[in-house]
Amino acid sequence: MHLAAQYLAAAGISFVEKKTDDSHTNLGWSIGKQRLETHPLSTDGDVLTLNYNTFSLEWNSPENNASFALDGKTHQQVLEWLASSADSFLGKKYTYDFHYDLPYSIDDSFTFKLDALKLKELADLRSLTQSSLEKTLAVNGLESDIRIWPHHFDSGAYVIISDDLAIGFGLAVPDTMINEHYFYISGYKGHDGIETSSFDSLSLGEWKNEGFKGAVLPATKIKEEQAIQFFTEAINIYKK
């Protein structure tokens, strides 16, 4: 799904006004519709989405709706559909080109294959994360957009607490630090990560201080209330 999400990121690059922080490329998650969504691609409200329930790309607008099932389709076929849809619905050219490197390679013959059980698991995790982040922000009196950044494919919120403290938290995909999805939180003073070596231990998760400075909690079998507890406890430690 990381690879499939890049079709949405490319739409943001192609059609959304560019922002210096790259936020024009990031995506939202709809719990109700179980899908990733771009920012509006036009003044009419065109949106390109990746539906986890149907494993399909969907082009939605007040007047235009089209879908393209990914199972068994090649990368080249997807690009042809996107180019045709962009031309039909927007009268603009869709370009699949990025200013960042992905951890995976893809060529025209790459073929998507549906794994329904895995897809449901991933959708449930995105929904749990979205809800946990929304409720964490609410109970702590904080405000932030919750977005999925296509480069690293993390779901995240970012809040500025004071001139000396900003906090980012969310869900990360498996990487060299943890070989499964995990919740994370990290504090910053300016652009520098805040040292965690002197922090009190957490009741859930653990602090890291080498390379990544922050706390992590493997997401397997974690319930919403546990994720909220992890985030809130760490936020309060940062605010001390």
Same domain (yes/no): 71, 156: no
Domain extent, residue 163, equals: 117-239
Same domain (yes/no): 136, 172: yes
Q: Where are the beta strands (DSSP E) in the chain?
A: 28-30, 35-37, 47-51, 56-60, 65-69, 147-149, 154-162, 165-172, 182-189, 192-193, 206-208, 214-218
Instruction: Say whether pLDDT at 29 is over 80.
Output: yes
Instruction: Say whether pLDDT at 208 is over 80.
Output: yes
- What value does the mean pLDDT take over residues 88-100? 89
Q: What six digits make up the tokens of 229?
A: 């507890």
Tokens 């805040």, residue located: 194
Same domain (yes/no): 99, 149: no
Same domain (yes/no): 63, 128: no
Instruction: Say whether pLDDT at 94 is over 70.
Output: yes
129-144 residue pLDDT tens: 999 999 999 999 999 9
Alpha helical stretches, state H, 91-223:
116-139
Q: What is the pLDDT of residue 105?
A: 76
Instruction: Output the average pLDDT for the chain.
Output: 94
Q: What is the pLDDT of residue 167?
A: 98
Same domain (yes/no): 100, 169: no
Q: For residues 236 and 240, give the distance between their C-alpha atoms in angstroms, rounded to a whole number.
A: 6
The residue from 114, 135, 156 where one domain ends is 114
Beta bridge partners of 187: 167
Q: What is the pLDDT of residue 64?
A: 78
- What value does the mean pLDDT take over residues 43-69? 94
Backbone angles phi, psi at 69, to 5 degrees: -70, 130
Same domain (yes/no): 103, 136: no
Same domain (yes/no): 27, 89: yes
Helix axes 116-139 and 224-239, enclosed angle (nearest 10): 40
- What value does the mean pLDDT take over residues 17-40? 89
Same domain (yes/no): 125, 234: yes
Q: How many helices (H) and strands (E) does the chain have?
A: 4, 12
- What value does the mean pLDDT take over residues 159-186? 97
Instruction: Say whether pLDDT at 23 is over 70.
Output: no
How many domains does the structure of the chain reveal?
2
| DSSP string covering 112-139 | ----HHHHHHHHHHHHHHHHHHHHHHHH
Same domain (yes/no): 151, 60: no
The residue from 114, 141, 174 where one domain ends is 114
Closest to 211 in 3D by CA, of 235, 238, 184: 184
Give the containing element (helix H, strand E) for 168: strand 165-172
- Indicate the range of 60-69, 194-203, 222-231 predicted with least confidence: 60-69
- What value does the mean pLDDT take over residues 115-141? 98
Same domain (yes/no): 96, 124: no
The alpha carbon torsion through 103, 107, 110, 116 (nearest 10 deg) reads: 30
70-92 residue pLDDT tens: 999 999 999 999 999 999 999 99
SS3 210: coil
The residue from 114, 144, 175 where one domain ends is 114
Same domain (yes/no): 154, 84: no
Same domain (yes/no): 138, 92: no
Distance set, CA 83 to CA 7, 86, 90, 150, 199 (Å): 11, 5, 10, 20, 51
Beta bridge partners of 14: none
Q: How far is CA 40 from the centre of its chain?
A: 16
- How would you classify the pairing of strands 214-218 and 147-149? unpaired
Instruction: Say whether pLDDT at 112 is over 90.
Output: yes
Q: What is the pLDDT of residue 230?
A: 99
Contact predicate 233/202, CB 8 Å? yes
